[in-house]
Amino acid sequence: MPASKLYVVNSVELISSIQRFPKVLAFPPIEAKFATTICASSKEANDILAVNLNCEDGDWGYSHDVYQSMHSALAPGAGLDGMNRVMIQNIAGSLERLKPTENQPTRIGLAEWSRHEITLATTNSVYGKHNPFKQPKVERAFWEFENGLVMILMNVFPSLTARSSYRARKVVGEAFRKYFEAKHHETGSMLVRNRYNTSTENKIPIADIARYEVGGTLAILVNTAPATFWLLFYMFSHPEVLEECRKEVEKIMRISVEEGQPKRTLDITGIKHNCPTLTSTYQEVLRQRTLGVQVRQVMQDMMLDDTYLLKKGATVLMPSLVVHTDPAVWGPDVLDFDHKRFAKAGSSQQTEVKRSNPKAFRTFGGGSTLCPGRHFATTEILAAVVMFIMRYDIIPVEGKWIAPKTEKTNIAAVVMEPDLDIQVEVTPRQGFADGKWDFGLADSKMVFEVPAEDQQNTLH
C-alpha cells in the first residue's frame, strides 16, 4: 500500500458508485493485509485466507465464509437478542454500583467508566460465562495493545519498536487460545460459535483462531466505548437536549408499585422507534465524531462514473470526516451540533433543516462492507446512555464541560477517542433515587435505520 497510487474520494455520489463494484474496487485484499499484520497470524493461516480472497471463483473461501457467519449472528433475531439481553443486564448492574454511599456523590472518569463497562458488557455478551476479559490483566493488555496499533501496523521489528503493544497482544491471544482449547465458545454467543466453526471448517489452526479473535475484538470494542462517552458528554453538556431525551423515554417507561416502592420498567426495544430526539442526537454525535477512512484496492483498470480512470493496484480512500463536514451535503450549519438534524420527515421533533442524503452518513461504512455489528453497537450505546440518564445526574468536577481533544485517536478507530478523561460526580436524579429499576429487551426484528442500506431494507 505505501508505494501504490492513491485516489481520495469525497463525493457521496462517487462513493455510492464505488460501492456498486465490490470485486473491482475491493476491500478483502486490504482487510487481509491488515489482519495478517494486526493479528500476527501464521503463514498457514495466511495462505488459507488468501484462497479465493476476493471471490473471483464464486462465493466461497475463508474470508467470505467468516464474513457471512458474522452477518447471520449479528442480524436482527434470536442470536442478536441474546447478546443484547446479556449486555443490558451487565450495564444495569454497573449502573447499580454507581449509587452513592453515605449520601456522597460517586466520582468517576467518564471516559474510563465508559471504556471499562462497555468492554465487560460487550465481551460478556459475546464470550459468555468464561469470557477471558473477566481477567483484569486481559482487559488491560487489550487496551495496551490497542494503544500501540500504529507501530504494530508499521511492522518494523514490532517486538522492539512496539514492545509493550506486542507483548500485550500475546497476553490476549494466549487467553483466547486457552478459551477455545477448553471449548468455552460452546457456551458463548452465536457470534463466537459461528466464527469458531467457520474457522475450523476452513482448517484454520486453533492458535490462529485465537489470534484472529484479538482482531475481532478490536472491531467490537474500539468504537462503542468512545461513542458512549461522547453521547453522554453531549447530553449532559446540553441540558435542553438531556431534558428532551428524558421526556421521550419517560413516555415509554412503565411505573408500578412493588413492596410499597416504585418499580420502573423500560423495554430498550421501544427506544429505537419512539424516541426521535434521542436517536437523532445519537446520529448527530456520530456524524461529528467519526474519523474513519474506508479503503479499497483497485483490482483492474476501470472508469469510475464514466469519468475517472482508476489504475490497477491503486488504493482508494474515502474519508468519512470530509463527507460528514461537507456543507453541500449537510447545509451551512454543518459544523454546528444540531441534535434534531436526523429527526424523520414528518416528525413533530424535526427542525427546519436541510434533509441530508442518508448515503452521506458513513460511520458504519456502506455497501458490501457495511459494518455487521452496527445493530448491536447501536443498541448497546443507546441502552447504556438511556439507563444512565434516567437514573443519574452528573456534573464535571472542574465546574464546566470542556470537550477533550482527540489528537491521539488510534488508526483502527472510526470514532474519535478523547485524549484526556473528564472527572465527574454522579448523583441520583431527584425523584428517581428510590425504588427498583427493571431494564429488558423484547424479541425484536426491528431495525433502527442508521445507514442508507437499512433504510432501504427495513424489516417489519
The DSSP secondary structure of 96-154, one letter per residue, reads HTTS-STTPPEEEEHHHHHHHHHHHHHHHHHHGGG-GGGSHHHHHHHHHHHHTHHHHHH
Cβ 141 vs Cβ 172: under 8 Å: yes
Residue 178, CB half-sphere, CA atoms under 13 Å: how many? 11
Are 99 and 236 in contact, with CB atoms under 8 Å apart?
Answer: no
446 and 273 Cβ atoms separated by less than 8 Å: yes
Is residue 3 scored above 60 in pLDDT?
Answer: no
Give me the pLDDT at residue 6, please: 95
Q: Return the C-alpha cell found at 414.
A: 472510526
pLDDT > 70 fraction of the chain, expressed in percent and rounded: 93
- Residue 344 pLDDT level (bands cut at 50, 70, 90): low
| Average pLDDT rounded to a whole number, residues 210-220 | 96
Q: Write b or e for each residue in 310-321: b if 16 or more Cβ atoms lie within 10 A of its Cβ, otherwise e.
A: beeebbbebbbb
Longest dimension (CA), the chain: 73
- What are the CA-CA distances from residue 147 to residues 150, 168, 169, 263, 417 (Å)? 8, 10, 11, 42, 11
33 or 348, which is more confident? 33
What would the pLDDT profile of 364-383 be if each residue is shown by its tens digit?
A: 999 888 999 999 999 999 99
As given in the structure block, the three cell numbers for residue 373 are 455489528
**So what's the pLDDT on residue 444?**
64
Nearest 10 degrees: Cα torsion 317, 368, 413, 131: -160
DSSP state, 28?
A: H
pLDDT at site 411: 81
Q: What is the pLDDT of residues 288-304, one digit of tens each?
A: 999 989 999 999 999 99
Question: What's the mean pLDDT in 233-239?
Answer: 98
Q: What is the rounded distance in angstroms from the CA atom of residue 214 to the CA atom of residue 38?
A: 9
With b for 16 or more beta-carbon neighbours within 10 A and e for fewer, the 63-91 pattern comes to bbbbbebbeebbebbebbbbbbbbbbbbb
Is the pLDDT at 1 greater than 90, yes or no?
A: no
For residue 293, the cross-strand partners are: 319
- The DSSP output letter for 357 is P
Whose CA is closest to 83, among 35, 122, 32, 30?
A: 122
What's the pLDDT score for residue 343? Answer: 87
pLDDT of 447 reads: 64
Residue 212 in grid coordinates: 484472529
Give the contacts of 126 (CB within 8 A, at least 6 positions apart). Answer: 83, 188, 189, 191, 192, 220
Backbone angles phi, psi at 413, to 5 degrees: -80, 145
**What's the confidence (pLDDT) of residue 112?**
98
The three-state DSSP-derived secondary structure of 37-60 is HHHCCCHHHHHHHHCCCCCCCCCC
pLDDT of the residue at 369: 86
Q: What is the mean pLDDT of residues 66-91?
A: 95
123 CB burial (10 A radius; 0-12, 13-18, 19+):
buried
Asked whether the predicted pLDDT for residue 346 surpasses 90, the reply is: no
The 10 Å Cβ neighbour count of residue 37 is 16
Give me the DSSP letters along 183-241.
Answer: TGGGGS-HHHHHHHHHHHHTT--HHHHHHHHHHHHHHHHTTHHHHHHHHHHHHHHSHHH
Quick one: pLDDT band at residue 385, thresholds 50, 70, 90? very high
pTM, two decimals, is 0.94
pLDDT grade for 151, boundaries at 50, 70 and 90: very high
Average pLDDT, the chain: 92
CA–CA gap between residue 372 and residue 374 (Å, rounded): 6
Integer CA distances (angstroms), 115 to 2, 196, 336, 418, in order: 32, 26, 27, 11
Q: What is the pLDDT of residue 101?
A: 81
Whether the predicted pLDDT of 348 surpasses 60: no
Tens of pLDDT along 301-336?
A: 999 999 999 999 999 999 999 999 999 999 999 999
CB 106 within 8 A of CB 98: yes
